[in-house]
Amino acid sequence: MTTGVFHGRFAGERDRARLSTQLERIRAWALARDWFTVRQCRESLEQLYAPTLFPENSIATQMRNLEKSSAGTLRCRKEKRRRPGGLWEYRLHAIPCAAAMDATLTAPLAKIRWPARFAELEAAGYGYTGTGKECSCGRAILWFITPRRKWIPLSTTKDDRLVPHRVVCANVAQLRSTNAQHQARASPDAQASLFPQ
């Protein structure tokens, strides 16, 4: 849960839900990338979630929120560097929180009935990372993050629904190798090693 991240005056639960959704989308997008500018983040998210707007001030604020301990399993550490010319770039790394992660893994998760629509996945806690590639089988892959913080490759069907890519892939063995690399990158141990105490 991310409700403890937000403080101050809000219009109520509707506004808190809006901010939580915005936070999740920014987190999923940013964790799947290396260095990026706030403008790149805004442009990409507004393209992915049109007609929803992502003001640059809101993105910067949410990246600060992700650094708070109250963000639980969503907690991140932000790095920044200055480009030539004075432009700042950012990247996020997940910071594992053992207690919060244990609570998440023991909580009941909504079951997905495949094929699923994008909105159904999002409601069940799946986050679209905004990244994709073409598999050697010729089908496009969209990478999502599950509620258990694992990467999952999905592909679209003819009616624009989503299914696990392995269901439609002709090269499942190679896909498993690629998926294992993504899982290693997203694991709490791999992320923690980037920030020795």
Residues 118 and 187 in one domain: yes
Lowest mean pLDDT among 23-32, 36-45, 61-70, 104-113: 104-113
What DSSP element (H or E) covers 185? Answer: helix 172-186
Residues 89 and 35 in one domain: yes
**CA neighbor of 170 nearest in space, from 139, 134, 133:** 139
- Structural contact between residues 39 and 56, judged by C-beta atoms closer than 8 angstroms: yes
Strands (E), the chain: 76-82, 88-94, 127-134, 140-145, 151-156, 162-164
Q: Report yes or no on 197 lying in a domain.
A: no
What does the pLDDT look like over 148-176, one tens digit per residue? 777 888 988 877 788 998 888 878 766 66
Q: Which domain holds residue 162?
A: 109-191
pLDDT at 107: 45
Q: Report yes or no on 170 lying in a domain.
A: yes
Residues 70 and 138 in one domain: no
Residues 10 and 99 in one domain: yes
Provide the domain count of the chain: 2
pLDDT at 146: 82
- Structural contact between residues 175 and 183, judged by C-beta atoms closer than 8 angstroms: no
Which of 78, 103, 128 is a domain's end point? Answer: 103
Residues 135 and 97 in one domain: no
How many CB atoms within 10 Å of residue 12? 7
Rounded to 10 degrees, what is the CA torsion of 141, 129, 32, 125?
Answer: -120
Tokens found for residue 107: 């909580």
Burial 126-154 (b: 16+ CB within 10 A, else e): bbbbbeeeebeeeeebbbbbeeebebbbb
Whole-model pTM?
0.53
